[in-house]
Amino acid sequence: MNKTIAFASEAVAGIGDGTTVMIGGFGGSGAPIELIHALIDAGPKNLTIINNNAGNGHVGLAALIEQGMVAKMICSFPRSADPKVFTDLYLAGKIELEIVPQGTLAERIRAGGAGIPAFYTPTSYGTELAEGKLVAEFEGRHYVQERWLKADFALIKAELGDPLGNLTYRMAARNFNPLMATAATRTVAQVTRIVAAGEIDPEQVVTPGIFVDGIVEVPDPEQEESLNREGAVYP
């Protein structure tokens, strides 16, 4: 088995118009910048993007949005140090937003990957984000029913990958990446280094390869925060 893909362009080739794509990361930490830029080069339209945020500056997710490729964002916090790209489009009515509490977003993705269509959470009970949702009482407390979240594609970032798709992560860059890997029809990971099968200690594997369809090696990956400090713009 060899899930290695040579080029980022090849990794995103199947993402067509109207696709729902999960993109890993929390802010810039764990964001697969090179895969996102390859997606910009490919140019599909009317994408629905699931991410914790909605981009920062003019690179990565913000650049994808700035290109007019995103019809809808599903996220918890569409603000950042430089949120102008998303903010302007949103206030002009040119991009749809589904705002989801962060823990609910994580659990909806986990449920999507685990084959659990719905679950109950105390989060958002009694708030406007629970409007129209089923509520049930368990042991005297109220809980809101939330549904799973799945995607056609997940683009994620990991540290080490092997040809079977086993992945490790680097520090807090883990965040949503292992969850999204489980919840998409096709998951592609950019990894800093591809190692031979057996070189990742099975005790250290965070995402087992069954959840991963392709890996692309991107040595020395770009960091969104560093790019923004340089004033970078993509493309």
Partner 1 sequence: MSAALDTLKLSSAQIAWRAAQDMEDGAYVNLGIGFPEMIAKFQPEGRDVVYHTENGVLGFGEAPAAGEEDWDLINAGKKAITLKPGAAFFHHADSFAMVRGGHLDLAVLGAYQVAENGDLANWSTGKGGVPAVGGAMDLVHGAKRVAVVTDHVTRKGEPKLLKRCALPLTGLGCVTRVYTSLAVIDVEDGRFVLREKLPQLSFEDLQSVTGAELKIHGDVADLAVPEL
**Footprint of partner 1 on this chain (CB under 8 A)?**
26-30, 52, 76-81, 83, 86-87, 90-91, 97, 99-107, 109-110, 121-129, 169-179, 206, 223-226
CB of 128 to partner 1, least distance (A): 5
**196 or 204: CB nearest partner 1:** 204
Torsion of CA 212, 213, 217, 220, to 10 degrees: -40
Least distance CB 188 / partner 1 (angstroms):
18
Output 6 or 171, the one with its CB closest to partner 1: 171
For partner 1, the closer CB: 9 or 102: 102
Report how far residue 192's alpha carbon sits from residue 159's, in angstroms, rounded to the nearest whole number. Answer: 5
Query: Closest separation between CB of residue 150 and partner 1, Å?
Result: 15
> Rounded to an integer, what distance in angstroms lies between the CA atom of residue 19 and that of residue 32?
18
DSSP state of 163: T
Q: Which is nearer to partner 1, 37 or 108 (CB)?
A: 108
The answer to whether 85 and 228 have CB atoms below 8 angstroms apart is no
Strands 184-194 and 214-217: parallel
- Min dist CB 80 to partner 1, Å, is 7
User: Is it true that the peptide bond before 32 is cis, omega within 30 degrees of 0?
Assistant: no
